[in-house]
Amino acid sequence: MTCYFKLAEAHYRENNGFRLPGEMSPASANDAQKEADRIEPVLKRPWEARTWDPKSVRTALLKLGYEEERTGPKCERLGGTLTVRERDSRFETGRYVTPEGALIGLRVHDDACVTAFVQKTNYQVKTNGLFPGNGCFEPRSGH
């Protein structure tokens, strides 16, 4: 058993590299943490009020002065730093369902993000580097 786990661990980065965030500079990590600290109490309020839908969460975060991230037809960034969207759908009892809640991504710098979620059971705010080809949001697993 031990050998199997060592082999699996050795291939984790190889198989899941697309799901590992990039490195943040120390200054960017510090700035991202400051933004995470601003966002956390704002997300706590809609969670306690049971209004964790993307529209309500977006409205609350825009009051902090963020602008919604905009992209062009070729996915080029046109401005803004905040993305609030539905949670990812999942296959459950023969069909795809989208769980209640919101996913949040705030691009702090070109190498730093704040990512968060709000859902019925809890909410969480964390910092991370960008994911290759996916920005602030961790890509879904492959296969």
DSSP 76-93: -EEE--EEEEEPPPEEET
Give pLDDT tens digits for 16-45: 444 566 689 999 999 999 999 999 999 999
Given this model, what pLDDT does residue 73 score? 87
Q: Among 8-12, 76-80, 102-106, 130-134, where is mean pLDDT lowest?
A: 8-12
Angle ∠(115,56,118) on CA atoms, nearest 5: 40
pLDDT, mean of residues 45-61: 91
Give pLDDT tens digits for 82-91: 999 988 777 8
Residue 9 clears pLDDT 60, i.e. is over it = no
pLDDT band at 75, cuts 50/70/90?
A: confident
Given this model, what pLDDT does residue 11 score? 52
Q: Distance between CA 38 and CA 57 in Å, rounded?
A: 14
pTM (2 decimals)?
A: 0.78
Q: Distance between CA 126 and CA 110 in Å, rounded?
A: 17
Given this model, what pLDDT does residue 138 score? 81
Given this model, what pLDDT does residue 21 score? 60
Q: Distance between CA 55 and CA 86 in Å, rounded?
A: 9
Residue 109 vs residues 16, 40, 49, 57, 72: alpha-carbon distances, Å? 24, 19, 31, 22, 19
pLDDT band at 1, cuts 50/70/90?
A: very low
Q: Which residues pair with 31 in a beta bridge?
A: none
Residue 81 vs residues 61, 62, 66, 84, 108: alpha-carbon distances, Å? 11, 11, 7, 10, 7
- Residue 19 DSSP class: G
Proportion of the chain above pLDDT 90, given as a percent: 48
Proportion of the chain above pLDDT 70, given as a percent: 82
